[in-house]
Structure 1
Amino acid sequence: MLARGLRILDAFSADHPALTLSELARRAELPLSTVHRLAGELVGWGALERGADGRFRIGLRLWEVGALAPRGSALRERALPFLEDLSQVTRENVQLAVREGVEVVFVERIAGSGAVPVLTRVGGRFALTATGVGLVLLAHAPPELQEEVLTGPVERYTPHTVTDPRALRGMLADVRVSGYAVSDRQVTDDALSVAAPVHDRRGAVVAAVSLVVRHGTATPLALAPLVRTSARAISRALGA
């Protein structure tokens, strides 16, 4: 029963935030009668809400529970002052992310005034191989996970996306040496991302912070000191 309820919740996405009962059943791959019963229970608990249009949406109660996740809430709380400082200084997009399996999960994003549009959102997931934060987190991931990612299919988002495993291994080695990662037009044709690692008190990389600017407006060498300074400040706040 729990697994079926989770399949219903998993049917929602950024592209499909509101679903009819039949759409919900189709996306969850469950019988309509089952979805009707479980959706009613989820609405009663607050995990789902049903609007006047009859469509279901994720409920506020689920957001309340999700906000208790320590890797997201505690990290975000400690990091937010430094992310805001970086945003105010640069007026660019600032992002904070963690690794969940073979994907990046964004726990905070501050959009700069007039900054280049980005595809990421808080709570959204992305490939480790394309974004600046993803490259940082992959560079410091266990070797077996790196191999899993690099030997599997690597998604291409733009003509500039690096998909060759040998080239990616070289990039990850550079990240470990330089202390920052660069994603140049790998996600969109007009964006440059520079990211740096955040460490916990044991020295492990637990997150990554990045600046995303319009391609051609700044160089990675100019952005790296700003990002690394913010990452070190967040690390100190975490007890590193």
Structure 2
Amino acid sequence: MRNSSSSLSRALSLLDAFDKGDGELTLTELADRAGLPKSTAHRLVGDLVRWRALERTPHGLRLGMRLFELGHLVPSPRELRDIALPYLEDLHTTTRKTVNLAVRDGIDIVYVEKLLAPNEPVPHSRAGGRLPMHCTALGKAILAYSPPALLDEVVAAGLRRMTPKTIQDPRALRTELAAVRERRIAYDVEESRIGLHCVAAPLFDRRGEVVAAVSVTGMQSRSTARHLAPAVLTASLSLSRQLSA
């Protein structure tokens, strides 16, 4: 059993070696990133290819379609996305900005859906990608309505600096979250990426617990971002009513 567990952990470390922007990696790159001997990586890659978790390319290896298929079977985010999509599309049409839906995973947010604005790329995030909670409007919208223990965990992990404007003082973050609770709107003012402003609002289920957040983001001024807040809040209230039904 220990050997099986060890093999599984090593195989998963190969999959985890892929990062945003990695279309494919060589066997050597995979082994180095996973901290495995090349011979071990070669053996495990063979198993993963047979299971379709990895696919061979002319120049290396890439993640396989089996992972894509399984990802779409994860129930909660998929069901949330299906319910939220009409509201996201309305918000996208109204604002003509990039619209995001995200859930919490540990002390990060994971993007469940992203509707891109024409001619205004948002390169630092993608559906299925993750960012820290403390420097994103989506994360702050969720964190503000989560149990205090989660904020303690976020602070204990260190408030990683993403840009010069990232909040790194725990007291400043607590003050910011108190303001989020007052207005039910959270902002990211170039805290996750310079030039980007984001406006987010929380989503609640029938128990009144925060389950996700919705946002609008773009290369816009702070005043423009604030003008988008009513549309984001309206979408979050309507969607929360749907989730509570």
**Shared fold, TM over 0.5:** yes
Query: Which sits farther off after the overlay, 77-86 or 213-222?
Result: 213-222
Q: CA deviation at 1:218?
A: 4.1
Q: Tell me, yes or no, if the aligned pair for 1:184 and 1:215 is still in contact at 8 Å.
A: no
SS in 2 for 1:74: helix
Structure 2 residue aligned with 1:162: 167
Q: CA deviation at 1:117?
A: 2.9
Structure 2 residue aligned with 1:114: 119
Q: Tell me, yes or no, if the aligned pair for 2:180 and 2:186 is still in contact at 8 Å.
A: yes
Structure 2 residue aligned with 1:232: 237
Q: CA deviation at 1:180?
A: 1.0
**1:130-175 deviation line (CA, Å, top 9, x unaligned):** 1100111111222112012124321222222221111110011111
- Matched to 1:29, the amino acid is G
CA–CA distance in 2 between the matches of 1:101 and 1:142? Answer: 13
Q: Tell me, yes or no, if the aligned pair for 2:53 and 2:67 is still in contact at 8 Å.
A: yes
- Matched to 1:170, the amino acid is T
Q: Structure 1 residues 217 and 155 mapped into 2: Cα distance closer, same or farther (>3 Å)?
A: closer
* 1:215 has 2:215 as partner: no
**1:94-125 deviation line (CA, Å, top 9, x unaligned):** 00100001111111111111235341111111
Q: Tell me, yes or no, if the aligned pair for 1:116 and 1:212 is still in contact at 8 Å.
A: no
SS in 2 for 1:79: helix
Q: TM-score, normalised by structure 1?
A: 0.94
CA–CA distance in 2 between the matches of 1:118 and 1:28? Answer: 26
SS in 2 for 1:137: helix
Q: TM-score, normalised by structure 2?
A: 0.92
Question: Could you list the runs of 5+ residues in structure 1 that have no partner in the other structure?
Answer: none
Structure 1 residue aligned with 2:4: none
RMSD in angstroms over aligned alpha carbons? Answer: 1.5
Question: Could you list the runs of 5+ residues in structure 2 that have no partner in the other structure?
Answer: 1-6
Structure 1 residue aligned with 2:149: 144
Residue number among 179, 184, 192 corresponding to 1:179 in the alignment: 184
**Aligned pairs, number:** 239
* 1:5 has 2:19 as partner: no
SS in 2 for 1:238: helix
CA–CA distance in 2 between the matches of 1:138 and 1:61? Answer: 33
CA–CA distance in 2 between the matches of 1:172 and 1:135? Answer: 7
Residue number among 13, 29, 37 corresponding to 1:23 in the alignment: 29
Structure 1 residue aligned with 2:54: 48
Q: Tell me, yes or no, if the aligned pair for 1:116 and 1:191 is still in contact at 8 Å.
A: no
Residue number among 91, 96, 105 corresponding to 1:91 in the alignment: 96
Q: Tell me, yes or no, if the aligned pair for 1:185 and 1:215 is still in contact at 8 Å.
A: no
Q: Tell me, yes or no, if the aligned pair for 1:132 and 1:195 is still in contact at 8 Å.
A: yes
Q: CA deviation at 1:178?
A: 1.0
CA–CA distance in 2 between the matches of 1:38 and 1:152? Answer: 32
Q: Tell me, yes or no, if the aligned pair for 2:197 and 2:222 is still in contact at 8 Å.
A: no
**1:166-217 deviation line (CA, Å, top 9, x unaligned):** 1110011111121110111112221111100011111110000001132327
